[in-house]
Every structure is written in structure tokens, then in C-alpha cells.
């Protein structure tokens, strides 16, 4: 009897775990901001949502990040620099948290893509989309200067959203005008990327033992 109770309890727990897992794989609403150029950065960003806080703030950067031609549609695409471009596995320039998991290193693979008609002037307001992934890693073996070794990957997220950015432009008459830098805000979603077994597989794991027990009970009842 004790063995049967244990088997049934295990089946129920597996079913509950499957349901909880299905509920936990959610799409997280996010808001974010981004900043690029101005001879200060190669791509800063902040992304926040329920249980989510990610940031990157790098060093240096180009004095201009692209061109627009007055009287035409300006198409502009850019990506934040990988933090390894300015700091090899250190704790000072990217990090954040997802749920209760803290990370000290982010690898962004984000694409910001926008388009707007540029009539001239020092600024251009442009709508854009953002898509891609961000991987979060923990750092280990850090020394007194914050230099570390790359530790385990803690999470991976798909990022998708839309927003508006303001491009600051050096307007040169008759020639392509330099985009000095940009500031933008966006909203969208972050979706966890996971290799955890599918809920259906977990349900099968739970119903399997229960099915064996039910079949055994039928045999006993029919005298088989």
C-alpha cells in the first residue's frame, strides 16, 4: 500500500511540476532605453520588466555612427558593441538580473533598425524596431580589479520591440550629414529561451507511473 501511495504521489507531483513549468514560461513585457555614439559609447542600453533588469554601459565610442542625406529617406541600422570589445570579462560595464539570478556579463546580439525622411536640420526623429537575443553569464575567479573568468551561462532571452530614437546630426549642405549619436526608448517583450523538457514530456513522465498502477489494479480486480 505504501508503495502504491508513493507511486501516485510521485505522479501527482510530476503533473503539478508540468503545470507550474507551463505557467513559468511567459512573455515578459519590457521597456528600455538606448544610447549610442557622441564619442562616448558604442551602444548602451537598459531593459527592464517584471523580474528583469539588464544594462550595458561601455567606454569610448566613435565621433559619428552613420550618415543621412537631406531630402531622402534615411535608413539606419546599428547594433550595440559586445562588451568584450572594451573589457575582457570584467564586472564594470554590463550585468543585471532575471528572476533571482544575478549576472555580471551580458552578450547582446541586438539589431536596431529604423527609417525616416530627413529634410535637413540638426536632429531627426526616427521610429525603429529592435530584435535579437541577450545571453547572461556569471563571472568567476574575479581579482581585486574586477577582472574575471567567464562562468556558466545563466539565461538567454529573445528581445523584440519598437520605439523612437532622436538622431543628432551634423548638417552639411550638399553632402551626407554625419549622425553624431542617438538616444531612444522602446517597449516590447522578452521571452526566455530554455532547454527544459517540454511540458508534454513532463506530463508523460507523470502519467506513465500512474498508468502502470491503474493497469495493475485492473488486473487484480479481474483476477488476471
> Each residue of 161-183: pLDDT tens digit?
999 999 999 987 778 999 999 99
Q: Do 10 and 102 sit in the same domain of this protein?
A: no
50 plus 95 within the same structural domain: yes
State the average pLDDT over residues 124-140.
97
92 and 145 co-located in one domain? yes
pLDDT beyond 80 at 160 = yes
What's the distance, CA 79 to chain centroid? Answer: 14
Supply the range of the domain harboring residue 57. 32-193
Q: Are residues 120 and 216 in the same domain?
A: no
Portion of the chain with pLDDT greater than 90, in percent: 63
Whether residues 18 and 124 share a domain: the answer is no
The pLDDT confidence band at residue 88, using thresholds 50, 70 and 90, is confident
150 and 45 within one domain: yes
Between 117 and 11, residue with greater pLDDT: 117
What is the count of structural domains for the chain?
A: 2
Quick check: 65 pLDDT over 70?
A: yes
| pLDDT at 222 > cutoff 70 | no
pLDDT(15) > 70 = no
110 and 167, same domain (yes or no): yes
Helices and strands in the chain: count of H runs, count of E runs = 2, 11
- Within 10 Å of residue 171's Cβ, how many Cβ atoms? 15
pLDDT of residue 24: 54
Write b or e for each residue in 176-198: b if 16 or more Cβ atoms lie within 10 A of its Cβ, otherwise e. Answer: ebbbbbbbbebebebebeeeeee
Whether the predicted pLDDT of 11 surpasses 60: no
Q: 3-class DSSP state for residue 77?
A: strand
Res. 104: pLDDT tops 70: yes
Task: Clarify whether residues 144 and 52 are in a common domain.
Answer: yes
> What is the model's pLDDT at position 6?
44
For residues 202 and 189, membership in a common domain is answered with no
What pLDDT, on the 0 to 100 scale, is given for residue 207? 45
pLDDT in tens, 37-61: 999 999 999 999 999 999 999 888 8
Residues 154, 85: one domain? Answer: yes
d(C-alpha 36, C-alpha 132), whole Å: 17
Is residue 21 pLDDT above 50, yes or no?
Answer: no
List, in order, residues 6 or more apart from 123 with CB less than 8 Å away: 166, 167, 168, 169
In angstroms, the CA 12 to CA 16 distance is 6
User: What is the band of 134 on the pLDDT scale with cuts at 50, 70, 90?
Assistant: very high
User: Are both 141 and 215 inside the same structural domain?
Assistant: no
**What is the pLDDT, as a whole number, of residue 12?**
42
- Asked if 117 and 209 sit in the same domain, the reply is no
Torsion 135-197-190-188 (CA) sign: positive
Task: Please report the pLDDT score of residue 98 as a whole number.
Answer: 97
Residue 62 CB neighbour total at 10 angstroms: 17
Amino acid at each position: 500500500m505504501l508503495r502504491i501511495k508513493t507511486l501516485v504521489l510521485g505522479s501527482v507531483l510530476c503533473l503539478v511540476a508540468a503545470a507550474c513549468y507551463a505557467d513559468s514560461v511567459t512573455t515578459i513585457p519590457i521597456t528600455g532605453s538606448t544610447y549610442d555614439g557622441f564619442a562616448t559609447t558604442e551602444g548602451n542600453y537598459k531593459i527592464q520588466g517584471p523580474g528583469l533588469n539588464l544594462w550595458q554601459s561601455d567606454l569610448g565610442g566613435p565621433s559619428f555612427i552613420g550618415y543621412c542625406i537631406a531630402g531622402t529617406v534615411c535608413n539606419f541600422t546599428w547594433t550595440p558593441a559586445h562588451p568584450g570589445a572594451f573589457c575582457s570579462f570584467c564586472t564594470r560595464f554590463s550585468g543585471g538580473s532575471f528572476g533571482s539570478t544575478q549576472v555580471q556579463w551580458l552578450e547582446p546580439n541586438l539589431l536596431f533598425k529604423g527609417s525616416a525622411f530627413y529634410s535637413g536640420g540638426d536632429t531627426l526623429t526616427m521610429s525603429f524596431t529592435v530584435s535579437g537575443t541577450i545571453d547572461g553569464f556569471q563571472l568567476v575567479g574575479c581579482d581585486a580589479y574586477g577582472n574575471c573568468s567567464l562562468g556558466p551561462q545563466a539565461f538567454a532571452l529573445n528581445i523584440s520591440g519598437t520605439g523612437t530614437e532622436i538622431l543628432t546630426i551634423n548638417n552639411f549642405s550638399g553632402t551626407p550629414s554625419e549622425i553624431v549619436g542617438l538616444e531612444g526608448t522602446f517597449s516590447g517583450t522578452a521571452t526566455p529561451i530554455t532547454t527544459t523538457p517540454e511540458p508534454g514530456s513532463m506530463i508523460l513522465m507523470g502519467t506513465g507511473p500512474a498508468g502502470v498502477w491503474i493497469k495493475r489494479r485492473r488486473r487484480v480486480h479481474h483476477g488476471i
